[in-house]
Chain A
Amino acid sequence: MTKQHANWSPYDNNGGSCVAIAGADYCVIAADTRMSTGYNILTREYSKISKLSIVHSALQMHDKCVMASSGFQADVKALQKNLSARHLIYQHQHNKQMSCPAMAQLLSNTLYYKRFFPYYSFNVLGGLDNEGKGCVFTYDAVGSYERVGYSSQGSGSTLIMPFLDNQLKSPSPLLLPAQDAVTPLSESEAVDLVKTVFASATERDIYTGDKLEIVILNASGIRREYLELRKD
């Protein structure tokens, strides 16, 4: 029989965009819910946002960080499961939740561990640090990471990032003394901005759309909002 199939590839790109914005006392993490392959939509309702915590019944504390990931769904799922398991062990060992910067380092290590057969996932991690300030960590697929004030990853990131740069220009990391990277916006302004960038990215990026899921972390806990996006 002659060969009829293209070479098998262990990777796919399931598209989607993620955004995170850190404020003085809040953090907004958002992603669309479209999952696609090629020109096909697989499902319109797939959450790209993971809480990373299997809440231990004895520990009734609220979440400190969430991760939004796009890229290859199967790798993303494996990564989320790995982090959740490691987080559960941490909770058993230390009787507390992992801080957001600690989780950020763990994520980096986990990604680099597969340096030569990478997780094809593009992540932003958002949460509150030990002082209650918003923090955002942005990654590449093999674990290089950085703490920033805002970030965007995924198929629409090239459209979203310049707009965020324009609206939320962060102080140069070269400035001395070092300045806070958090954005000056209020929480509701940040949520509005996230809605706008996704509505705009949906206009021009074919892999972004269907629905927007927004997670807001602040001192009073975690809250979710949804916004319908274009479905074409």
Chain B
Amino acid sequence: MRLLTELLGTPTEADLGVKGTTYQSQLPELRLKEKKSRSSLLLSIQETSSIMGSVAESQRTLYPYVTGSSVVAIKYKDGILMAADMGGSYGSTLRYKSIERLKPIGKHSLLGASGEISDFQEILRYLDELILYDNMWDDGNSLGPKEVHNYLTRVMYNRRNKFNPLWNSLVLGGVKNGQKYLGMVNMIGINFEDNHVATGLGNHLARPILRDEWNENLTFEEGVKLLEKCMRVLLYRDRSAVNKIQISKITEEGATVYPPFSLKTYWEFSAFRNPAAGAAGSW
């Protein structure tokens, strides 16, 4: 019974690098794969000389290149509403300004993504294939949001098991047979459903508002207003957010992605106009 704490504690890569013999043996293979695959993720590995090699010797870094910011989504009376801005950041540079991060999937689902944009586009290719194969059955049935979400959770978890994650947080919403569905999954496979979800900084800044103000019977107009409120706070407080926002909805009738718009902002507080007034001697 003692094993767990001694062995694991909170597991870190270092633990696994040191103790995971199977993992060590995967390393050369991983590197080969990485060379062949797209360049969005960088995996640099210095091979350890021995299985018990020191932590410093075994180093692997993975990080995203072009990233999208938060996605915020809610259930409302007739379905699901989702919002995201259109910025694509290259580190702290705002590199792209018209990236669509909300996409309809099949007949009943809507996908929103934050994180690495190229990985998101790869996921869209997977889903295209999934929907195509499903269509080819021609059995009058089509995958609903629950199925698509489940598929995504397995893809994401599987990639983390290979130590080659898809660097995204995905939000999946949809309606099928009168059932609303809203869930999310992140890059290591954590997944859940809720009445409202938000990724990235949205988890810190938007969900407090949603927990206060969301209710089941929001109309479309109220829902959009609530999302705009969240996106405005994100615009103020998330440095990688941009004021070019898309909202989309999905109902029993299907998905609609609305054209981008910008939010009205307010900067006229007198303390902002003369910030030094309250602190003589500073500037």
Contact = CB atoms under 8 A, between A and B. Distances in A.
Interface stretch (B7-15, B134-142, B253-261, B266-274): B7-15
Interface residues of A, number: 36
A120 B3 contact: no
B23 to A, nearest CB: 6
B194 A8 contact: no
A214 B236 CA distance: 43
Interface residues of B, number: 39
A117 B161 CA distance: 9
Nearest to B157: A74
B191 A74 contact: yes
B188 interface: yes
A197 B12 CA distance: 31
Interface stretch (A22-30, A139-147, A186-194): A139-147
A43 interface: yes
Interface stretch (B28-36, B60-68, B76-84, B222-230): B60-68
Given A40-B204, A74-B190, A120-B11, A4 B160 contact: no
Contacts of A142: 3-4, 7-8
B54 interface: no
Contacts of A122: 4
Given A117-B23, A142-B3, A9 B190 contact: no
A94 interface: no
A74 B192 contact: no
Interface stretch (A11-19, A83-91, A177-185): A11-19
Contacts of B161: 10, 117
B10 A10 contact: no
Nearest to A7: B13
A37 interface: yes
Contact of A1 (B22, B91, B165): B91
Interface in A138-162: 138, 140-142, 144, 146
A43 B165 contact: no
B203 interface: yes
A140 B21 CA distance: 20
A11 B23 CA distance: 14
A144 B3 contact: yes
A10 B3 contact: no
Contact of A10 (B4, B22, B90, B188): B188
A176 B92 CA distance: 69
Nearest to B43: A8
A78 B162 CA distance: 15
A77 interface: yes
B203 A40 contact: yes
B191 A73 contact: yes
A223 interface: no
Given A1-B91, A11-B188, A74 B160 contact: yes
Contacts of B1: 138, 140, 144, 146
Contact of B21 (A42, A116, A141): A116
Nearest to A13: B10
B204 A12 contact: no
A141 B23 contact: no
B157 A5 contact: no
B119 to A, nearest CB: 13
Q: Which 6 A/B pairs are nearest by Cβ-Cβ distance?
A: A74-B189, A140-B4, A8-B62, A5-B63, A116-B22, A43-B194
20 contacts: A2-B91, A3-B63, A4-B91, A5-B64, A8-B61, A8-B62, A8-B165, A9-B13, A10-B161, A11-B10, A11-B12, A35-B192, A42-B194, A43-B194, A74-B153, A74-B157, A77-B157, A78-B189, A140-B1, A140-B7
